[in-house]
Amino acid sequence: MTTHLALLRGINVSGHNMMKMEALKTMLENIGFQNVRTYLQSGNVFIDSDEESASKVGFMIKQEIFKVFGHEVPTIVITKEDLELCFKNSPFLKEKEIDTKKLYVAFVSVALKSENINDLKISQFKPDEASIDGNRVFIKYAVGAGKTRFDQKYIEKKLNVTATIRNWNTVTNLLNMFNE
């Protein structure tokens, strides 16, 4: 049995793609996932499955959400190791007196190469900063996520990937839940 973390993008945001977490949990249990638990109302779902492939699990979840709720919801499935690598590899955590409220992680659908950072043209968003590590884009916003154009839509367009962004507090809490 493998524990997966499904990151659903764009649910329960500004009245769009509304889903009650209890209904989502029931739906996932009905298609065979076990030990389903959610964090917040924004699409962070832990599941246990005999299926080891994260991409297959993500596809199953996305298809079932569309079938049951009628919403097209991009889904990225990650592992505990993905979250642990956030703490190990984030270049911004190494900075003295870092304000973690300005740190975010964009989880993307494919592994990126470090040279993909050039595709993001991050210099046009200064003083915001970004760094690529596998299927993660580490982001440090100068002011805040709500006041920049360097967002999930921009990352998806420039890198031709599916992406979903979580703030550092959420990343920390998700890893803690994995460890429980």
pLDDT of residue 12 exceeding 70: no
Q: Which strands, in side-by-side order, build the sheet including 44-49?
A: 34-39, 44-49, 2-8, 75-78
Question: For position 13, what pLDDT does the model report?
Answer: 59
Mean of all residue pLDDT scores within the chain: 90
pLDDT of residue 104: 95
**Helix, strand, coil shares, percent, the chain, to 5:** 40, 25, 35
The closest of 140, 164, 177, 156 to 17, measured between CA atoms, is 164
Q: Are 136 and 165 in contact (CB under 8 A)?
A: no
Residue 15's pLDDT band, with cuts at 50, 70 and 90, is low
Same fold, 2-78 and 80-179: yes
For residue 43, pLDDT over 90 is answered with no
Reply yes or no on whether the pLDDT at 14 is more than 70.
Answer: no
d(CA 162, CA 155): 8
For domain 80-179, the CATH architecture is 2-Layer Sandwich (3.30)
Instruction: Report which of 152, 169, 144, 114 is spatially closest to residue 13, judged by C-alpha positions.
Output: 152
User: In this structure, are residues 163 and 108 in contact, taking their beta carbons and an 8 Å threshold?
Assistant: yes
If DSSP codes are grouped into helix, strand and coil, which group holds residue 76? strand
pLDDT in tens, 98-140: 899 999 999 999 999 888 888 888 888 889 999 999 999 999 9
Residues in the chain: 180
DSSP class of residue 101 equals G
CATH topology of domain 2-78: Alpha-Beta Plaits (3.30.70)
6-20, 27-41, 68-82: which has the minimum mean pLDDT?
6-20
Domain ranges of the chain: 2-78, 80-179
Q: With the CA atoms of 152, 23, 20 and 53 taken in that order, what torsion angle do they form, in degrees rounded to the nearest 10?
A: -20
**Binning pLDDT at 50, 70 and 90, where does residue 40 land?**
confident
Q: What is the pLDDT of residues 51-100, one digit of tens each?
A: 999 999 999 999 999 999 998 999 999 999 999 999 999 999 888 888 99
Residue 4 near residue 79, CB atoms below 8 Å? yes
pLDDT at 179: 86
pLDDT computed for residue 21 by the predictor: 82
31 token code pair: 């298609």
pLDDT at 149 over 90: no
Q: What's the predicted TM-score (pTM) here?
A: 0.91
According to the model, what pLDDT value does residue 41 have? 72
List the structure tokens of 40.
């917040």
For Cα atoms 151, 154, 160, give the angle at the middle one, nearest 5 degrees.
Answer: 130
